[in-house]
Structure 1
Amino acid sequence: MEPLDLFIFLMLLCLQWTAAPATKNIDWTYTGLVGQSEWSQYFPDCSGDSQSPVDVVTTQTKYDPSLIPLTPLGYSQHGNAPFTLYNNGHTVVIELPEWMGLRGLPWFFTAVQMHLHWGSGGPSHGGSEHTINGLSADAELHVVHYNSELYPNMSTAMTQRDGLAVLGILIVTGEETNVAFNNILNYLSRIRHADQKVPIPAFDIQSLLPTDLGRYYRYNGSLTTPPCYQSVIWTVFNDRVQISKAQLLKLETLLYSSKAEDEYRILLQDNYRATQPLNHRVIFTSFSAESGKELSSGEVTAIVIGVMCGCVGVAVIIRFIVKTIRSTSSWDVLPSNRPAPMPRMSRPEKANEKKQDMALNSTSEAEKKEEPSPPPQTEP
């Protein structure tokens, strides 16, 4: 090999060796110099046409009757070994044991880890990655699995089109405390800085999920963080999970994206990616619009009150109509069949008429007296 060719070969080898680690270990963030808008410059897959998260427009989804309820396996069989809680500088991660898995998909998927995404403004200010009809939730939980039927491990599977399956659980806030989420939130103060880990007691992972696992949206997408591999079968549940406002506040204010030795502390907040174009993809739904859903107690109460108010309103209207009809004389409502009234006579006319009647009566009596009686008849 010529010296010049050897030099060029060595230079290319050196560039390749240095470029790969730089891309792999690039310190990306959600905002700043290597924020979301710059991800694709360092991670080409982030500019793909099947990226996640997405906005689920329910009127544009397609019902697929073949989508069956998902079946978590081993989620409640946590055993005695503790879980590991980890602050990786981007989110809080709970590593899951390999005996946990998921059925209800074309292949069996083994659980790997779960993590959370949240905002910074408290309730109703966003924080979830997926949105439904343009509306975001306050946070979102992702449970990540890899296709263990086709691939030997997570690292291999995450680069394949059918390698991963992620459950997306939208989280909203209310007044009641979610005891299940305290299994995570109560230990956040022990991993406040990036790269800190702590063992936590194992608990039932399924208690974090919605009760109804049969109503969900399904589409093909990607990891929502670099390297943004387009290898995820997404399942976003229709039903939300509720935590308290105090629990959300813990999530938004306790963790730092900076390390303990860093001079400046940076709160770990707003760690959610903006929704991506759907492009050619179709979002399928496991339930039809006509099937409806179970109503919550609040919705049932609202319906009952609405019906009662409607009945009262109708009763008031009917009472008013009946009262109006009764207060109106029947002679005023129906055509009059009464005979025309006789004209009234003045009192003098009545007196004259009375006198005339008396005179006529006297004349009649006199005529009766003057009539000759018939001659007496003699007997033979």
Structure 2
Amino acid sequence: MDSLGLFILLMLLFCVWTAAPAAEEITWTYTGLVGQSEWAEYFPSCGGTSQSPVDMVTTQTKYDPSLTPVTPLGYSQHGNQPFTMYNNGHTAVIELPEWMSLGGLPWLFTAVQMHLHWGSGGPSHGGSEHTINGVSADAELHVVHYNSELYSNMSIAMTQKDGLAVLGILIETGEETNTAFNNILNYLSRIRHADQKALIPAFDVQSLLPKDLGRYYRYNGSLTTPPCYQSVFWTVFSEKVQISKAQLYKMETILYSSKAEEKDRMLLQDNYRMTQPLNHRVIFASFSADSGKELSSGEVTAIVIGVMCGCVGLAVVVRFIIKTIRFFTLLHHETVAVNSSTSSWDVLHSIRPAPMPRMNDLEKAKDKKQDMALNSNSDAEKREEPSPCPQTEP
């Protein structure tokens, strides 16, 4: 009887074991039968309290001055060996050589691979996994590293809480083509279907990163795809990188999540996970809130135009003020000059002496009086002198 019971128990265990596939063998998707809402049912870690991605609310982040700039090591030393790129049915993965690593963290983390997440609606329709203040970027690049100081390989490290470090680079759409991203996008046609693999020319991986590696957000989280192990030190840069609209369109439309032999082709789109609750986690920032906020390209353009208009307006106002001051100064000087001239004339006119008679006029008057006196005497003598007597002839 005991043997029969043991046999039945073993048969039941065997049936359960064969009926339930391993979690690694389950084909998960972003939507569908084993979509995001069902991940936790098949992958328990996906229901944990420290899941990624998250929304980074800038007003709720905490400034940590000990966060030094991230230091990529060997990213530019790609060598002559080509990179391997493959389509795993969920994204395009580029394997990275082991000499690439990441400094600026408590341990040395060795690079393993990088991959992309995107949407389906073109610019301004979302596609990134992480968001800032509730706003999605158009796509997101992840560069994955494992803790090579404590663990021997990626498989072991990914199950440990301090095992992985991932860089998150938010991607937005601009006007210019990003030549660095063409090192990936130009070869996507070689891996259009799931399970396809191709060799691509090696390139400078650091050229994919933003220029400012000192401004970022840091928090403890998880892988954003099953099995969702909560083992990631996340570093999400605040500065976005730009690609053109044509590059984003190629990213969103060229790959399939289906295999080449499958008749029904399914475009690989919207391969991003929705943001997860923080659950009392703290997001740290390497920069303080008053050192500058995040600005979109449109906001920067508006600020530049506003500053230019403000400068022009200020110049016009200053010029008007200067001209007004000059006008009133000149008017004041003219008024003072007129007033000064009138006052002097009045004073001088009132005190000037009577004009002195000229000497010639006095002399002429004196001579005239003398002439008149002589004439009077001469006339008197003539009247007193007797007339002569007439003479007789003999």
TM above 0.5: yes
Q: For residue 311 of structure 1, what is the aligned residue in structure 2?
A: 314
Q: For residue 279 of structure 1, what is the aligned residue in structure 2?
A: 279
Q: For residue 30 of structure 1, what is the aligned residue in structure 2?
A: 30
Q: For residue 56 of structure 1, what is the aligned residue in structure 2?
A: 56
2: CA distance, partners of 1:11 / 1:109: 45
1: CA distance, partners of 2:320 / 2:265: 67
Counterpart code for 1:185: L
Instruction: Return the offset for 1:19.
Output: 2.7
Does structure 1 residue 7 correspond to structure 2 residue 8?
yes
Distance 1:294 1:18, change over 3 A: closer
Instruction: Return the offset for 1:299.
Output: 6.8
Instruction: Return the offset for 1:310.
Output: 4.0
Instruction: Return the offset for 1:7.
Output: 2.5
Does structure 1 residue 288 correspond to structure 2 residue 291?
no
Aligned to 1:16, the other structure's residue is in SS state helix
Query: Once the two structures are aligned, what percentage of the paired residues are identical?
Result: 74
Output aligned runs, 1:246-257, within 5 Å: 246-257=246-257
Q: For residue 301 of structure 1, what is the aligned residue in structure 2?
A: 304
Q: For residue 151 of structure 2, what is the aligned residue in structure 1?
A: 151
Aligned to 1:264, the other structure's residue is in SS state coil
Counterpart code for 1:27: T
Aligned to 1:3, the other structure's residue is in SS state helix
Aligned to 1:183, the other structure's residue is in SS state helix
C-alpha deviations, 1:126-172, integer Å up to 9, x for none? Answer: 00000000111000000000111111111111111111110000000
2: CA distance, partners of 1:313 / 1:138: 42
1: CA distance, partners of 2:152 / 2:15: 31
1: CA distance, partners of 2:310 / 2:192: 52
Aligned to 1:38, the other structure's residue is in SS state helix
Which deviates more, 167-176 or 285-294? 285-294
Q: For residue 356 of structure 1, what is the aligned residue in structure 2?
A: none
Does structure 1 residue 133 correspond to structure 2 residue 136?
no
2: CA distance, partners of 1:321 / 1:140: 58
Instruction: Return the offset for 1:256.
Output: 0.5
Aligned to 2:171, the other structure's residue is in SS state strand
2: CA distance, partners of 1:80 / 1:87: 23
Counterpart code for 1:308: C
Counterpart code for 2:152: P
Instruction: Return the offset for 1:280.
Output: 1.2
Instruction: Return the offset for 1:113.
Output: 0.4
1: CA distance, partners of 2:159 / 2:262: 33
Distance 1:124 1:7, change over 3 A: same
Q: For residue 340 of structure 1, what is the aligned residue in structure 2?
A: none
Q: For residue 377 of structure 1, what is the aligned residue in structure 2?
A: none
C-alpha deviations, 1:169-201, integer Å up to 9, x for none? Answer: 000011111000000000011111111000000
Distance 1:121 1:142, change over 3 A: same
Q: Do the aligned residues in 1 keep the contact of 2:71 with 2:102 (CA within 8 Å)?
A: yes
Aligned to 2:9, the other structure's residue is in SS state helix
Q: For residue 121 of structure 2, what is the aligned residue in structure 1?
A: 121
Instruction: Return the offset for 1:302.
Output: 3.0
Does structure 1 residue 86 correspond to structure 2 residue 86?
yes
Q: For residue 180 of structure 1, what is the aligned residue in structure 2?
A: 180
Does structure 1 residue 66 correspond to structure 2 residue 69?
no
Aligned to 2:243, the other structure's residue is in SS state strand
Instruction: Return the offset for 1:290.
Output: 2.3
Computed over aligned residues only, the root mean square deviation of the Cα atoms, in angstroms, reads 2.6
Counterpart code for 2:82: P
Does structure 1 residue 220 correspond to structure 2 residue 223?
no
Larger radius of gyration: 2
Output aligned runs, 1:333-352, within 5 Å: none
Aligned to 2:59, the other structure's residue is in SS state helix
Q: Do the aligned residues in 1 keep the contact of 2:238 with 2:294 (CA within 8 Å)?
A: no
Aligned to 1:2, the other structure's residue is in SS state helix
Q: For residue 389 of structure 2, what is the aligned residue in structure 1?
A: none
Distance 1:228 1:243, change over 3 A: same
Counterpart code for 1:143: V
Q: For residue 161 of structure 2, what is the aligned residue in structure 1?
A: 161
2: CA distance, partners of 1:69 / 1:19: 46
1: CA distance, partners of 2:294 / 2:219: 24
2: CA distance, partners of 1:257 / 1:106: 37
1: CA distance, partners of 2:110 / 2:4: 52
Counterpart code for 2:310: V
Distance 1:26 1:322, change over 3 A: same
Instruction: Return the offset for 1:316.
Output: 8.5
Which deviates more, 266-275 or 33-42? 33-42
Distance 1:287 1:299, change over 3 A: farther
| Runs of 5+ unmatched residues, structure 1 | 327-380
1: CA distance, partners of 2:152 / 2:209: 27
Counterpart code for 2:118: W
